[in-house]
Amino acid sequence: MRKAIFATMLVLGATVLFGQDIALPEPKAKLGIDLLEAIQARTAARNFVKHEIPLADLSTILWAANGLKKGTDAVTSASKAGRTIPVSGGTAYINVYLFNDKGAYAFDPDKNRLRQIVAGDVRDSVTPGTIKTAAFILLFTFDGAKIPPFFKGNTAMVWQTMNGNAGFAAQNAALAAAGLKMDSIVMYNIKPKDIASTAKLGKEEQPLFILQVGYRQ
C-alpha cells in the first residue's frame, strides 16, 4: 500500500514539474505551397484575427525557425542532419523562445518540445509593441557562451554571424507562417533587461529581435 502511495506521489510530482511543458507533434512535411508562392504570400502585418494556432502548425513554424533536419539526400545519400539554419562550427548558438497569452517557453529542438519558463501572459515584458491579437511572439537570441573558438576576439564576425543566422531563422519562420495563411512582422523595439529576467537567459545570451505572428484579417 505504501509503495503504491509513494509511486502515486512520484507521478503527481512529475506532473507538477513537467506538466506545463508542451510536447510538439512532428512538423508537417509539406504545406501545399511552393517557396515562390510562400514569398508572394508573405506579408508584414500588425493587424491579426485572434485565433489559437494548432500544435501541428506551431511545430512546423518552430521547426522551420531552428529545428533539426532528418533523413538522407535521395541523390547523394548524404545525411541531412543538422539545423534548419546555418550554424558555423556546428555549435547551436541561436535560440528561439515563444511567448503567448499562456506563458513563456524555450524551444528545445532536440526533444521537439516547448519548455515552459513562466506561466501567464508576459508578452508586455518582451516589447512595448505587443500585438494582443497575435497568436504568439518568437524571440531570437544569441548565446555567446556557445560560439566556436575561432570567433573569440573577432567582435565584427560575431556580430555579423549572430544577426545573419537569427535572420535566417526568422525568414524561415515567416515563410512557413505564410504557407499556413498567417502573417508576421519583425520588430526590434524589445526590452532586453526585462526579457533576460523573464526568459531566464544565460549570462552571455543576448536577445536580438522578435517576430509576431498571427492570422490574417
Are 169 and 94 in contact, with CB atoms under 8 Å apart?
yes
Q: DSSP strand E in the chain: where? A: 22-23, 68-69, 82-83, 94-100, 103-108, 113-119, 136-143, 182-187, 205-215
CA 14 to each of CA 7, 9, 45, 107: distance values in angstroms, whole numbers, following the listed order = 11, 9, 41, 20
The fold of 21-215 is: NADH Oxidase (3.40.109)
Confidence of residue 126 (pLDDT cuts 50, 70, 90): very high
User: Of 121 and 7, which is predicted with more confidence?
Assistant: 121
pLDDT tens sequence across 33-74 = 999 999 999 999 999 999 999 999 999 999 999 999 875 454
Q: What is the mean pLDDT of the chain?
A: 87
Determine what percent of the chain is predicted with pLDDT higher than 90.
69
Q: Which residue has the cell 564576425?
A: 157
Cell of residue 159, nine digits:
556580430
- Give the helix/strand (H/E) hosting 65: helix 55-66
At 210 the pLDDT is 98
At 12 the pLDDT is 41
Whether the per-residue pLDDT at 149 is higher than 90: the answer is: no
Closest CA to 62 of 117, 23, 119, 120: 23
Give residue 44's identity as a one-letter amino acid code: A
Whether the per-residue pLDDT at 27 is higher than 70: the answer is: yes
